[in-house]
Amino acid sequence: MTRVLIVGTGTIGQPLAKAALELKSQLGIDEIIILKNTPRVEDVGMVRRFQSCGAKICAYEEKFSQFVQFGMTPDYDFETALSLANVIIDCTKDDLALKMKEDFYFYRHHTQKCRGFIAQGGAKGFGIPFAYNINNKALYWSGSPHKFIQVVSCNTHNILAILQTLVLAHEGPDYLESGRFYLQRRVSDVSQKKGIIGIEVGTPSDPKFGSHQAADAMAVLRTISVRGDLDIHSRAHKSPNPYMHVIDFNLKLKTSLTLAEATARFWENPLTATTHQTMNNVVFSAGRDWGHFGRILNQTVVCLPSLEVLNGGREIEGTCFTPQDGNSLLSSFAALLYLLDGTENKSEWREKMKNIFHRPPFIFEEV
């Protein structure tokens, strides 16, 4: 029996678990187990809905009685669930995944049943940084598959998608002179209670790359032997907006492109959606109405009216929307299928990804 343990029920954990439950036969999964950390009366409805869909709930043994008091009876304690799971997907906040690795995961990675562990963007150092269709080949390096994978953040996916689509997948990294990315991050998801009143200016966290998104993008590219560090830099501000992150980008090239050629490259990338909409709430609404559980899983949504080609085609500017956590969800499923792929040289998971996800309501050509 193939079991997957999902740790955390936040903005990535919940939609990941719901999609996995719906698609588990296609994914090759028999049982989904969800770790609920904190027993809260406001989460009773969510837990019961998951159980009605076939999920098993686990909790730390010392908290069992509190869950039962609220009418939520766990199916497993965490240690049992951990021993049963073939793949663990950690969707916890910030650096908690690193602590979980140190306390629990590391001691299980060598067992025969355990295929591997996946964590999300904030868990730097958890494992190899990964973005689907950017560094697939790095997962199976020199015949030795990675067991610890860190799916990078949604805005890092977006930066990588712009770079790959316009230059890396065509002329190559040597033809990029510079890339500048200006992020207006939404401060919270519509499901969250926190917020801010005005725009919060971000400060650089890396002396070379600016905010962490460009630094993380370069970390992904290093895994596929991009020679030297590219001249890429990002700045990230937070705005009081619950919809989609917005990125303004400027790429300077050592070759020239026409506007038609740049547009065609976005159309050719199956993970890049385009739109003629210019407001992020409208694009968000389209995802809510047409996407799977209200999400678009493309790596980016490029606003075509914003595209400009300057300096004789050697400079491209534009604006794109980041599909909430959708692109991270897509990469999480890619990492999951990779870890579950039992074939020699991991030869089947890419085709499975295409068959399951490369279509609406997951991925769109135009929004």
Q: Which helix (H) or strand (E) holds 229?
A: none
Per-residue pLDDT, 34: 98
195 CB-near residues (< 8 Å, 6+ apart): 187, 188, 240, 242
Q: Which helix (H) or strand (E) holds 359?
A: none
Per-residue pLDDT, 215: 96
**β-bridge partners, 320:** 247, 302
Per-residue CA distances from 54 to 41, 51, 92, 218, 351 (Å): 21, 5, 22, 40, 27
Per-residue pLDDT, 194: 64
The third-level CATH classification (topology) of the domain covering 154-326 is Dihydrodipicolinate Reductase; domain 2 (3.30.360)
CB 74 within 8 A of CB 59: yes
Per-residue pLDDT, 321: 97
For the chain, the domains span 3-153+327-357, 154-326
Q: Where are the alpha helices (DSSP H) in 175-279?
A: 212-222, 259-268
Sequential pLDDT tens for the chain (367 residues): 999 999 999 889 999 999 999 999 999 999 999 999 989 999 999 999 999 999 999 999 999 999 999 989 999 999 999 999 999 999 998 789 999 999 999 888 777 789 999 999 889 899 999 999 999 999 987 566 789 999 999 999 999 999 999 999 999 999 999 999 999 987 656 555 566 678 888 888 889 999 999 999 999 999 998 878 999 999 999 888 878 999 999 999 999 999 999 999 999 999 999 999 999 999 999 999 999 889 999 999 999 999 999 999 999 999 999 997 899 999 999 999 999 998 877 889 999 999 999 999 999 999 9
Per-residue pLDDT, 56: 98
The third-level CATH classification (topology) of the domain covering 3-153+327-357 is Rossmann fold (3.40.50)
